[in-house]
Amino acid sequence: MIRHTQRRSPVWGWVLLILATMLVYILNKPVGSLPAIGKLLDPVNGCWASAEPVNKDFSADLKFPVTQNAKVWFDKRMVPHIHAENDHDLYFLEGYIHAYFRLWQMDMETRAAGGRVSEVIGEKALAYDRKQRRKGMVFGAENSLKAMEDDPRTKAMMDAYTEGINKYIASLNYREYPLEYKLIGFVPEPWTNMKTALLLKYMADDLTGSTDDMALTYLRDYLPKEEFDLLYPKRIDGATPVMPSGTVFDKPTLAIPAAPPDSIAFPHFKPADFGEKREDGKGSNNWAISGSRTASGAAILCNDPHLGLNLPSLWYEVQLQAPGMNVYGASLPGAPGVIIGFNDSLTWGMTNNYRDVKDFYLIKPVESDKNKYWFAGKQLDFSKRIERIGVKGQPDVIDTIDYTIHGPVTYETQNAKDGNLRKPLAMCWMGHKGTNELLAVYMLNRAKDYNQFVDAIMNFQCPAQNMAYADRAGNIAIWGQGQFVNEWKDQGRFVMNGTDSATLWKELIPMRENPHVLNPAQGYVSSANQVTTDSTYPYNYTNSGWVNLRAWRINQLLNGMQKATIEDMFKMQNDTYSDLAAGSLPVMLKVIYKPNFVGGDKYIETLKKWDYRLGAESEAATIFQVWWELLYRDTWKDRMGNVPGQVWPLQERTMQLLQLNVTAIGNVMTPEQKINAILCTKVSQSFAETVDSINKLEKTIGTDWYKVKNTTVQHLAKLPAFSFDHLKIGGWGNTINAAKGDHGPSWRMVVQMGKEIEAYGVYPGGQSGNPGSKYYADFLHQWVDGKYNKLDFLPNTDKQNDTAIKYVWTVHG
Amino acid sequence: MRFFLSVILIALLSAAAEYFFPWWAVAVVAFVVSAFIRQKPGKSFLAGFSGIGMFWLTACLVHDSANGHILSARMAALFHLPNYVLFIVVTVFVGGLVGGLSAWAGALIRPKTD
């Protein structure tokens, strides 16, 4: 008893109390990038609150600030079918539902757009945030916000949408926050119309962001002119433009400007000025087949925009019903309306157009005055824009950005690490202009016929898109849509001289003069990021990344199709036949130098038996892809030395040069023949390297194509635990099923516009953004397997008896 | 008896407290309960550990079984744990440790009633 009393000395009690308090303190505080463990593990309020019951009954009776009663029917895939009696209620509910299922994603994407990531994850995102600010993302979004709020239709649409999101956010307490907020340690903030504007700029930047202007500026000096034109043709031989050859274009209403002398137009760079890395791969396919060439007699439209593969998915399926509108399709959480889809009259799809709408100007600062630059013989003041970047756990970072007559100076001498090109360049980008794509969405969703479709897309200015169209009357059409500038030849293809007014952007081309075709004789329209027109289109334009391999394959298949069915379309979207392999491999096998076969005979045999399909389990696909990559790299690396940004000739151009197959050696060779000879030599060298690589693969992960290319659908916070990798899917960027490493078909859609609309779709994700929900990635495996969901297009009435409906929200005002 | 009474009180009161207060309310409950129910300090630790542990285990199991282990499996992967069971074990252990230490401190500091 005595010992007991002694042990109960309060001193030990206080020590233990301090220990316990410290334990709680540590568990309640984030350490480094680790979240507060106690707070996170807490089964009531922490991560466990995101464990959504698999049988959760989503049905509810809700009281909202809507003006009339409304209904939301959720089908068994959790696609909401929203029925409202007016626009306000409709977009309020769409906002509420986007937030309900995807809030964290919307928050993160708009932070990423506007350079506000450091606020929540700290200094490691600062360089990224600065880059976003310096390219004028916030500036562009502000301009577009003004345009959107100036139009009463889009203003009302955005206001209601924002109100709906905020209604949801206001209903949350810590327990109900999406899991990622608890993991990263921040809280949702109120939504604004500006955030929607930022999200739309994010898409514009994603689709018009990459540039090869700087590298090409260097290359045109580095390579002899003849060789430059040979390697970087503006239209590749055999290109099948989006507008079928023979399409007659209207006479231009604007005079085509004459190009200024080269010495005035373009500056010159040295290799030492560079270091930028190039990105590629945002390609997409769409096509529409006229009723005259389908089995059912109804027009069919197909679309699969290739974008970053992420979870939560970029897209969210939704049906929207209001008086005069019944539309279904893929929406972007963060923006109201349906972006790609169909309504009860027509359907539309988009692919990236890639006409250059982003130019760079070399700025000449005034040496004696840092606040001025030279333009047209005068000294002009930079207008200064101050960007304040919040950084978690640190004071704000202030970045002052110089704006010129062309746009913001993104690349500066004193900020080499931000820009890599050590010259002050100003960016002139269509995305900086105040454009209102949301109005196009608003009108598209309500369009009844071709004319209304055209009226709608006249508001779609940036990012430029190839808009395919089909309707229930059997019409098909395609527009190379966007706002473009009346350019002189080669304007903007290279970095331009920023001191001369001759290089300024001229007037805008009236959008109705954009290339388009309605019901062409060939019976179909298609686009896959190739050049828009043949050379008969009157206006000048330049390229920022046109590719041809998918377009060749699509046109080849569509040409041969007389009685197309929906099944045929599924097969086509999942086609993995490689035109690159079919065009290159026979030549490679022919010119390879025999003695290099050591150890590689069996691979040659495998390749000889191959059908040129990049199937998921194909070993031949792996051997070819590795061999081709090495051949391509070995050739251009040697030929071009340290070319900035690795802007090497297109793969298909390389293939064409390989196909020349010069036999007569010894005579004077043309530049083409010289390159062909180099390629042929490199075939053997690269094959020896290929044998090494394949041997290594055999000993490690295996040679199945899907294992080697590793298509991954990654969580937006890059958490492998919430991501899916090594998906068993075939294809690559050069096949219609363009499933690359982290890019691919983000929304496969097939719509047959018959008397009954028959529609199918699938995206690599699920309707819920919650990693603890069974709806998080439930479409992913269908997508991998090339399977589709039938889309339940409900009639526009306030009562439904569709068996697919699982849950109902009854909404009262 | 005191032991079981402590365990049950700690479990029930902390469950109630968590619905109104942040997660660390469980530490306060364990501390207060063992300050008022007289026990040997070692037993108090066990009572705190078991009380919070039982409550957290129950809460985890309720969530996890309804959820079909979707969340627990993903969280386990996030923390590089081999399976979802271990994620539950870690959760319960952390809760138990907090409860145990707090209860132990409570038992040693408890007001003199005799």
Whether A785 contacts chain B with CB within 8 A: no
| B105 contacts A28? CB cut-off 8 A | no
Q: Mark residue A490 as left, alpha or beta (left: phi above 0; alpha: psi -120 to 50; beta: remaining).
A: left
Q: Which fold, A60-577?
A: Glutamine Phosphoribosylpyrophosphate, subunit 1, domain 1 (3.60.20)
Rounded to 10 degrees, the C-alpha dihedral A356/A358/A359/A364 comes to 180
| B18 contacts A42? CB cut-off 8 A | yes
Candidates B108, B110, B112, partner chain A, best to mutate (most A CBs within 10 A): B108
Helices A601-608, A671-699: crossing angle, 10 deg rounding: 110
Rounded to 10 degrees, the C-alpha dihedral A50/A54/A56/A58 comes to 90
Q: How many Å lie between the alpha carbon of B8 and the closest alpha carbon of chain A?
A: 18
Please, which residues bridge with residue A340 across strands? A330
Give the three-state DSSP class for A270. coil
Residue stretches of chain A with pLDDT short of 50:
1-7, 276-281, 414-419
The position carrying tokens 């206080």 is A14
Give the three-state DSSP class for A285. strand
**Long-range contacts (CB closer than 8 Å, 24 or more residues apart) made by A173-180:** A174/A45, A174/B22, A175/A44, A175/A45, A175/A49, A176/A49, A178/A50, A178/A103, A178/A104, A178/A769, A178/A770, A179/A47, A179/A50, A179/A104, A179/A770, A179/A771, A179/A772, A179/B71, A180/A104, A180/A108, A180/A716, A180/A717
Whether B81 contacts chain A with CB within 8 A: no
d(CA A590, CA B107) in angstroms, rounded, equals: 87
ipTM of the assembly? 0.94
Whether A323 contacts chain B with CB within 8 A: no
| B77 contacts A772? CB cut-off 8 A | no
Structure tokens at A595: 């003695």
Furthest C-alpha separation in chain B: 52
A268-284: b or e for each residue (b if 16 or more CB lie within 10 Å)? ebeeebbbbeeeebbbb
| A774 contacts B68? CB cut-off 8 A | yes
Candidates A15, A18, A47, partner chain B, best to mutate (most B CBs within 10 A): A47
Q: Please compute, for residue B84, the number of CA atoms within 13 A of its CA located in the half-sphere on the CB side.
A: 16
Candidates A8, A28, A48, A722, partner chain B, best to mutate (most B CBs within 10 A): A48
B chain contacts of residue A183, beta-carbon cutoff 8 Å = 78
The 10s digit of each residue's pLDDT in A154-188 is 999 999 999 999 999 999 999 999 999 999 999 99
Whether B102 contacts chain A with CB within 8 A: yes
| A13 contacts B68? CB cut-off 8 A | no
Check residue A419 and give its pLDDT: 37
CB atoms within 10 A of CB A355: 27
CB atoms within 10 A of CB B13: 19
Contact A466, A481 (CB under 8 A): yes
- Beta-sheet strand order (sheet of A409-411): A409-411, A425-429, A358-362, A496-497
Domain boundaries, chain A: 2-48, 60-577, 579-612+619-703
| B109 contacts A10? CB cut-off 8 A | yes
| B40 contacts A41? CB cut-off 8 A | no
Mean residue pLDDT of chain B comes to: 91
Closest Cα partner for A765 from A798, A795, A789? Answer: A789
B chain contacts of residue A24, beta-carbon cutoff 8 Å = 24, 27, 98, 102
Q: If pLDDT is split at 50, 70 and 90, which confidence band does B32 have?
A: very high
Check residue A664 and give its pLDDT: 55
The 10s digit of each residue's pLDDT in A369-387 is 989 999 999 999 999 999 9
Check residue B108 and give its pLDDT: 85
Whether B22 contacts chain A with CB within 8 A: yes
Contact A615, A729 (CB under 8 A): no
The 10s digit of each residue's pLDDT in A449-467 is 999 999 999 999 999 999 9
Check residue B2 and give its pLDDT: 84
Q: What is the pTM of this model?
A: 0.93
Considering only CB atoms, B74 lies closest to which of A55, A174, A722, namely: A722
Length of chain A in terms of residues written: 813
Check residue A412 and give its pLDDT: 66
Check residue A661 and give its pLDDT: 66
Whether B82 contacts chain A with CB within 8 A: no
Q: How many Å lie between the alpha carbon of A332 and the closest alpha carbon of chain B?
A: 25
| B70 contacts A20? CB cut-off 8 A | no
Check residue A599 and give its pLDDT: 77
d(CA A309, CA A762) in angstroms, rounded, equals: 13
| A17 contacts B105? CB cut-off 8 A | yes
- With a CB cutoff of 8 Å and minimum separation 6, the contacts of A184 are A35, A120, A121, A717
Compute CA distances A287 → A31, A226, A235, A290, whole Å: 51, 36, 21, 10
Give the three-state DSSP class for A57. coil
Contact A365, A424 (CB under 8 A): yes
| A38 contacts B23? CB cut-off 8 A | yes
Compute CA distances A423 → A361, A443, A497, A770, whole Å: 10, 43, 12, 45
d(CA A498, CA A364) in angstroms, rounded, equals: 7
Check residue A442 and give its pLDDT: 98
Whether A3 contacts chain B with CB within 8 A: no
Check residue A648 and give its pLDDT: 84
Check residue A180 and give its pLDDT: 96
